[in-house]
Structure 1
């Protein structure tokens, strides 16, 4: 006899098999679903002002398009120039490491300085940085070498906005239809667990990611006002690393002080660089996190890192996209299993 539980388990296994088999074509659909999930609250807010759903979705779609084009046209060229600055500073970095740091390391470890071929290391690093600085042209060249790869890339890229638009238009209806697929006696519990999963995801995606973005802007702007040439690169690195509490500040302070020392060779700018990160941490603790995340239940940073790495290892880029939603669902399920166990006779 087929029970509801066996049916759900069978459907779950079938979804995993289909995910594995269809992963080469799932990327635009998953990206579109993610963008629709991020844009749905804004679309609902605009719709509540009396506008139709399609007009609200069109406004959200326009905002996403402007942000994406701004990222492509503004951020990527700036990062390319930052990498060029690092390439120019590389000889000085290697010289300081060779003359000051390496003798100390050799004294305490017993390594022979002659074992390091600094000229080869410098050429290799310069070549990699030069290649990274022209990443757009490299990507176009690699894709254009295969006609089918170029067609697939263009089709996938073109599908993302189409999927995003239609998913946003029908998002609320899709949620109702998915809920109605479950047996009626399980629908209330399923809806409760879905709301808990949404709370976890929103706490991270709509909260923590906004905190990371805000910190990136704060750090990059502050370091730019100080006059640091690598302000954008260091600011973005520190902001992205802030997914783990205090890790972003630690990485940012280390990278910022190192870059500042080689650029200014004076202690006063280093004090200003340190002040930027102190102000950023204060803003995160007392303004950004309470305002954007609040007291919602979020995914633990270690859970996030493991989920993303595991998803990438199992299903490639598709696995990275679904890692956080799956981790949120698993965390909610484990919480309910734990509560069920605590209420069972086995525990008591």
Structure 2
């Protein structure tokens, strides 16, 4: 009856409004990230060495050597993450450009460059990158839209299953399966922010807990009189 029709339209309008609100929220977050990240990177590069020195001065002298070791490892991990992210972005740009050349898409290098730049933001980045490509494909021909969908799907699969886990895993010394697990968990818990910050956050936590466990072992060995009950130091020898 009329009541059911009215309910249907109410639900439809509510769903559309919810979708628009979510998109605007995600787009606002992306724009803020694009605006703020360059400033943050600039100040990190300009004053990046002052923060560790300030942290060490706040600690008792006995803890400063350990803090220095943790901060150095954290610095290496962040550097490795940025290098890995750049390699992933370049790989995506090259794959998109080659794929668009193969299917005869106009402005292939420009669209590949856009995909490379936006790939640093998961989920929303690919959506922004593919939008102009979809418009060009619709104007060109319906069949071009099908070919575009095929290329984009292949690129996303290769990146998600092989390139990102392998490059990030090797640069951060984290197992590729762990990378995928962290991305899924952080994404479900914190959304886009979790996906963006999940891997570097995990890498930094790994550094901190590795050092804390090492200190715990040393402390335990110092207070355990029986040498047979000591933790063993595992020394990896190069073959």
TM-score normalised to structure 1 length: 0.34
* Greater relative CO, 1 or 2 (CA 8 Å, sep 6+): 1
